[in-house]
């Protein structure tokens, strides 16, 4: 409070409020819509009513909100810190697989072979769970794994990469290699994660049937709340001094080092945080979509994440949300109407955004408003 006692004649860094009144209202409106309105329209309003919201819509929006959270995480590392990761798909998938292990064990004897083991293990003629499946039938163990698996991988990988001062395009390339290597690993049947089919046919989560509309509505609401939590966390981080150090890494890492900061720990911190946020989004994604397979770790998937952030606007708070929603909205339309043209469209979109909207949709709007003012 002593900062208020003196009048220094300038704005004290970090003293502005977390959000202004309008932003808080928008967050509240979003939460009311996703936590109350949509579940009521989905569960209570009869299917015959034109106000009824379909299960398809709930799943689609739930999925897109997971992607939005991934984009927020990506924006932390790329938009604010200037480190382009083309391997964020691996963290998303690891979170998904970690929670998928729990979901697989909750199938119990309801699988094709009525075994306690998942079908793919029976198929491989395995007699028992491998050691790394230990305790995954406990929900909280699975939750811990959701954080630890992507977090540890990111920490170890990041430590060696950042300590060796690997930067720019070289870093991007090795993150591509990382996700590709993990995809190959998970494709192997012997790895014990279901090979190229991955995990699917989930039945229950915490005793509730996964296909039950109430479970779907709960997962939907949880995802919405998580997305808002990511947004608030991201804003709080960027507003802190650590946030200012991160953008300083992006703009002039040399100056920062000669000012007495060791960029290694700052990069490692935001890199690991970003990976964990992705992993949790992956864990929310899997029960809603009902499948996780190594395709999530494909190189193209990780590049798509970068495209979302580029389209929305790097280094802006709302950009990742806008970008992930726009691109995925377009994707679900295209893959239904013109499935063969989707990748062409995605490529074209990336080129157009790079050429004409270097600051993304949000950056473009911001500049227009500034010009008008």
Q: Which of 28, 53, 79 is nearest to 359 (CA)?
A: 79
Nearer Cβ to other proteins (63/359): 359
Residue 8 CA from chain centroid, whole number: 41
Instruction: Pick the stretch among 67-75, 187-195, 242-250, 282-290 that binds other proteins (CB under 8 A).
Output: 242-250
Residue 242 within binding range of other proteins, rule CB under 8 A: yes
Q: Which of 82, 62, 93 is nearest to 191 (CA)?
A: 93
Helices 168-187 and 88-105 pack at an angle, to 10 degrees, of 30
Residue 373 within binding range of other proteins, rule CB under 8 A: no
Q: Which two tokens stand for residue 227?
A: 């997305």
Nearer Cβ to other proteins (87/263): 263
3-state secondary structure 164-194: CCCCHHHHHHHHHHHHHHHHHHHHCHHHCCC
Instruction: Pick the stretch among 102-110, 181-189, 251-259, 275-283 that binds other proteins (CB under 8 A).
Output: 251-259
Nearer Cβ to other proteins (11/48): 11
> Contacting other proteins (CB under 8 A), which of 191, 215, 247, 335?
247
> Contacting other proteins (CB under 8 A), which of 260, 371, 372, 373?
260
* Cα 145 to Cα 34: distance, rounded to the nearest angstrom: 27
Judge residue 292's burial from the number of C-beta atoms within 10 Å of its C-beta, 0-12 exposed, 13-18 middle, 19 or more buried: buried
Counted residue by residue, the chain has a size of: 373
Instruction: Pick the stretch among 29-37, 111-119, 171-179, 238-246 that binds other proteins (CB under 8 A).
Output: 238-246
Residue 261 within binding range of other proteins, rule CB under 8 A: yes
> Contacting other proteins (CB under 8 A), which of 196, 262, 329, 367?
262
Give residues 269-298 in contact with other proteins (rule: CB under 8 A): 269
In terms of phi and psi (left: phi > 0; alpha: psi -120 to 50; beta: otherwise), the region of 16 is beta
Nearer Cβ to other proteins (118/263): 263
Kindly report the number of other CB atoms within 10 A of residue 122's CB atom.
16
Least distance (Å) between residue 102 CB and other proteins: 32
Residue 370 within binding range of other proteins, rule CB under 8 A: no
> Contacting other proteins (CB under 8 A), which of 130, 256, 277, 310?
256
In terms of phi and psi (left: phi > 0; alpha: psi -120 to 50; beta: otherwise), the region of 82 is left
Least distance (Å) between residue 316 CB and other proteins: 13
Give residues 5-34 in contact with other proteins (rule: CB under 8 A): 5-6, 8-14
Mask: binding to other proteins, 171-200, rule CB under 8 A, as x and -? ------------------------------
- Asked if 270 and 78 count as a contact pair (C-beta separation under 8 A), the reply is no
Beta bridge pairs of residue 208: 205
Nearer Cβ to other proteins (1/128): 1
Residues forming the site for other proteins (CB under 8 A): 2-3, 5-6, 8-14, 237, 240-242, 244-245, 247-248, 251-252, 254-263, 265-266, 269
């Amino acid at each position: 409070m002593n900062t208020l006692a003196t009048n220094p004649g300038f704005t004290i860094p970090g003293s502005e409020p977390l959000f202004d009144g309008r932003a808080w209202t928008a967050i509240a409106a979003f939460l009311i819509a996703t936590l109350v309105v949509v579940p009521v329209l989905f569960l209570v309003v009869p299917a015959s009513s034109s106000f009824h919201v379909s299960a398809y819509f709930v799943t689609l929006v739930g999925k897109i909100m997971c992607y939005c959270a991934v984009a927020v995480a990506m924006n932390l590392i790329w938009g604010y810190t200037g480190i382009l990761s083309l391997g964020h798909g691996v963290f998303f998938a690891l979170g998904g697989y970690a929670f998928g292990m729990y979901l697989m064990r909750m199938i119990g004897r309801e699988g094709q072979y009525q075994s306690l083991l998942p079908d793919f293990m029976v198929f491989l003629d395995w007699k028992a769970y491998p050691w790394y499946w230990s305790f995954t039938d406990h929900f909280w163990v699975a939750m811990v794994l959701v954080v630890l698996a992507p977090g540890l991988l990111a920490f170890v990988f990041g430590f060696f990469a950042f300590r060796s001062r690997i930067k720019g395009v070289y870093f991007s390339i090795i993150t591509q290699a990382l996700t590709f290597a993990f995809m190959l690993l998970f494709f192997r049947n012997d790895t014990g994660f279901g090979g190229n089919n991955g995990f699917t046919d989930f039945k229950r989560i915490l005793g509730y049937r996964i296909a039950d509309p109430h479970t779907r509505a709960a997962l939907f609401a949880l995802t919405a709340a998580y997305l808002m939590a990511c947004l608030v966390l991201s804003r709080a981080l960027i507003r802190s001094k650590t946030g200012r150090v991160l953008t300083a890494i992006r703009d002039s890492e040399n100056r920062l080092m000669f000012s007495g900061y060791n960029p290694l720990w700052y990069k490692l911190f935001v890199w690991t945080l970003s990976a964990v946020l992705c992993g949790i989004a992956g864990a929310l994604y899997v029960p809603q979509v009902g499948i996780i397979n190594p395709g999530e770790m494909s190189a193209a998937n990780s590049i798509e994440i970068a495209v979302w952030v580029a389209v929305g606007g790097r280094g802006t708070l709302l950009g990742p949300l806008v970008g992930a929603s726009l691109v995925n909205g377009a994707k679900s339309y295209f893959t239904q109407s013109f499935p063969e043209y989707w990748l062409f469209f995605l490529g074209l979109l990336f080129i157009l955004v790079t050429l004409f909207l270097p600051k993304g949709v949000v950056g473009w709007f911001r500049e227009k408003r500034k010009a008008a003012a």
